Structure 1
Amino acid sequence: MFLEMVKKRNSELIDFAVTLHQQGIILPDTYVIDLDKIKENTEKMVKKADSLGIELYFMTKQIGRNPKIAETIIEAGIKKAVVVDFREAEIMMENNIPIGNVGHLVQTPKHFLKRIMNYGVDYITVYSMEKLEQINSVSEELNIKQKVMLRVIDDNDALYPGQYGGFQLDELDENIDRMKSLEYCEIEGLTSFPCILYDKELKDFKLTHNVETLKKAKTLMEKQGFNIVDMNVPSATSIQTLPFFEEMEGTQGEPGHALSGTSPMHAEVELEEKPAYVYVSEVSHNSRNSAFVFGGGYYARGNLENVLLDNEGKRSQSKVKPFPSDNIDYYLEIDGKQTVGATAIMAARTQIFVTRSQVALVKGLNSNKPELVGIYTSQGREIERN
């Protein structure tokens, strides 16, 4: 999906990734991430967001919940993370990374609330009255006021399987009195996901029905006396989509894939953000008329298509065959017989945190002083190297 863009816009990353593999420094099933490109992309996005008065929280799940990447993004100007779930929150907390929002896609478990509220978080996103009441109880115990963001949904909204939940728009009004009784919860924000999606036919982004749901919810809540300060409108937050925020009445974005130059549009158009990672594997064996490379990092929605093969400097390309998502990616099959042990370089949209891959962070590619910073698990924990 992104291989041609990486070859065109960050070929140094491919070259160094090949070197790391062929010198035995990294093993197959490793994502190699360019920290300098992450920083450059972030700096550009911050400049655009600041000019529009938009607050940004960064998302790291796509690139392995990595604290070193988080530190790099903070240095570049986005000061707080949005954590997709409590496991990601743990990693950020262990590394003293400030958190702006928790609970959006995965609600915060009851017995984790006290830990994260003690740590400190701008907003906790809430799907239900029961969770609001839990937060209110912990806030009272800690003697603090906790800002809360409601996720509001409607029947015609775009929602992904495995992500259902939120206050139904047509049932919101009946909960108002209970909400007002929770004196330790400050309901100041609304959110939904996804608010923007890429339309491949239009070759541009467009707003989803979720945005209209949020606007209606905001009107309803403000009529009931709530001060809705923030409208959190995530999905595909990038330099390309930030101008949409005014139409959405959005105040907060959550860049994730754009930080590594890997939103769907980045695969087709040279946007401001440049590609910042590749996936490295190795030819394991041949069978019939196919070669098989080691798997582990496959993501079913990644649209993986092409593979670059490097056999001690001799390069060629082939096609990755479609892989059924109901199987485990022990191997990926590619067209044609290939040299066993050759390096395989791929670049597709991923969610590293759901893989069993390792992550190698590199820097210095632009200055011709490439350096391996460290190797990490897919959950962001550093691995000791011999």
Structure 2
Amino acid sequence: MFLDKTVRRNENIVKAAFELHQKGLIDPDTYVLDIDTLLENAKNIKNEADRYGIKLYYMTKQIGRNPMVAKELDKLGYEGAVVVDFKEAMGLIDNHINIGHVGHLVQIPANIIEDILKAKPKIITVYSVEKAKQISQAAQRLELTQNIMLRVLDEEDMLYPAQYGGFYINELLQKVSEIISLPNINITGITSFPCFLYDEEENNIIPTHNVVTLNKAKKLIEENFNIKLTEINMPSATSVVNMKGIALQGGTHGEPGHALTGTTPYHAYNDAEEIPCMVYVSEVSHNLKGESYCFGGGYYRRSHMENALVGKNFHEAIKVKVEEPSLESIDYHFTLKSNTNVGDTVVMAFRTQIFVTRSHVAIVKGISKNTPEVIGIYDSQGRKIK
């Protein structure tokens, strides 16, 4: 999906991937992150956000919940990490990462709420009155007050499978009445997901119906209760090109994820401000009946794998078609639609969510100067590998 774009816009990362693998410095099933370019992307995103008064949480799940990158993003002035589930939250807390937004795609389990509250997240998203009560009770025990955000939805909104939850707009006033009576919590925001998506026909990032619901919910809450909402969080496709769109739709916060690595769908078709800075590295394992098989482990079902470069180095590599594994199969290997040499390096670039893979993540600096240096290798959950 991103191979040609990456070769054209960041050739050095592809060269580095071949070199690091052939030298034995990284193993197959490793994602290589060009940290210098990633941080430059992050700066450009934040500069544009500042221009429109948008505050940003950064996502780490796409890059394997990596604490080294997270610490650098904290230094740039981001509002902290948006953690999509409690496991990510606890991992980043253990690494002393600033927690910004927690509880959106996955709610916090009851027995972990106190641990999360002790980390003083800026805001917690809740889907139910029951979860708000649990947070209220935990906040009382800890003698603190926690800001919360309601996830709101309507029948016409778009929701991804396995991500259902929140307050329907037609029951919002009743639910808010119950929640504002709870001690030690304040409703300060609302959110939904996805609020923006790339439209291939228009070749642009456009708002979804979820944004209509957010603005309707804001009006309902502020006109019926003594509440001023300070966070209208509009995640998805948060990038330089969409910052103005967030502001125009009334958003106050965004959550860049794939934009940090230049790998949103918009980036696949456009030379956006953000430069692609992540590739996947494997190795040819064996050949069989005119096809090659390279080591797997890094597959994500929405990856849109298409091609790989295969060889001992970038200049001699050949482009080979890749066959994605079937959904019912474990990705022990990826199929290359040509015979290649056993032991050769395989480099791909596709959409991923590293945290759901078995992959390693190599953080590499100096790529733009042709002096690549591995400064850390981590597993897919952000744990450092010795």
Counterpart in the other structure of 1:267: 268
1:366 is paired with a residue whose SS is helix
Equivalent residue letter for 1:10: N
Where structure 2 has 5 or more consecutive residues not aligned to the other structure, the ranges are: none
Does the Cα contact within 8 Å between 2:18 and 2:312 map onto a contact in 1?
A: no
Deviation at 1:367, TM superposition (A): 2.5
- Structure 1 CA distance, aligned partners of 2:75 and 2:132? 34
1:211-360 → structure 2 map (5 Å cutoff) = 211-225=211-225, 226-311=227-312, 314-360=316-362
Counterpart in the other structure of 1:68: 68
Deviation at 1:184, TM superposition (A): 1.3
Does the Cα contact within 8 Å between 1:319 and 1:334 map onto a contact in 2?
A: yes
Does the Cα contact within 8 Å between 1:290 and 1:334 map onto a contact in 2?
A: yes
- Structure 2 CA distance, aligned partners of 1:234 and 1:89? 18
2:105 is paired with a residue whose SS is coil
Equivalent residue letter for 2:302: R
Counterpart in the other structure of 1:105: 105
Does the Cα contact within 8 Å between 1:176 and 1:224 map onto a contact in 2?
A: no
1:206-245 Cα distance to aligned partner (Å, 9 max, x none): 1101011111111111122222111000001000111111
Does the Cα contact within 8 Å between 1:311 and 1:339 map onto a contact in 2?
A: no
CA-atom RMSD in angstroms = 1.1
Deviation at 1:25, TM superposition (A): 1.5
- Structure 2 CA distance, aligned partners of 1:365 and 1:343? 18
- Structure 2 CA distance, aligned partners of 1:177 and 1:319? 57
Equivalent residue letter for 1:323: P
TM-score scaled by length of structure 2: 0.97
1:171-220 Cα distance to aligned partner (Å, 9 max, x none): 11222321221131100100000000011122111110101111111111
TM-score scaled by length of structure 1: 0.97
1:314 is paired with a residue whose SS is coil
Counterpart in the other structure of 1:46: 46
Deviation at 1:79, TM superposition (A): 4.1
1:309-330 Cα distance to aligned partner (Å, 9 max, x none): 1235621101112331221111
- Structure 2 CA distance, aligned partners of 1:212 and 1:122? 25
Equivalent residue letter for 1:192: S
1:205 is paired with a residue whose SS is strand
1:19 is paired with a residue whose SS is helix
- Structure 1 CA distance, aligned partners of 2:238 and 2:311? 34
Deviates more, 1:71-80 or 1:342-351: 71-80
Does the Cα contact within 8 Å between 2:54 and 2:247 map onto a contact in 1?
A: no
1:173-184 → structure 2 map (5 Å cutoff) = 173-184=173-184
Does the Cα contact within 8 Å between 1:29 and 1:357 map onto a contact in 2?
A: yes
Equivalent residue letter for 1:316: I
1:256-301 Cα distance to aligned partner (Å, 9 max, x none): 0000110011111110000111000011111112111111001110
Counterpart in the other structure of 2:130: 130
Equivalent residue letter for 1:322: E
Counterpart in the other structure of 1:365: 367
- Structure 2 CA distance, aligned partners of 1:11 and 1:175? 53
Equivalent residue letter for 1:356: R
Q: 1:82 to 1:52 in 2, by over 3 A?
A: same
Equivalent residue letter for 2:212: E
- Structure 2 CA distance, aligned partners of 1:17 and 1:317? 15
Equivalent residue letter for 2:52: L
Counterpart in the other structure of 1:29: 29
Is residue 89 of structure 2 the alignment partner of residue 84 of structure 1? no
Counterpart in the other structure of 2:15: 15
Deviates more, 1:49-58 or 1:136-145: 136-145
- Structure 2 CA distance, aligned partners of 1:306 and 1:200? 21
Deviation at 1:248, TM superposition (A): 1.9
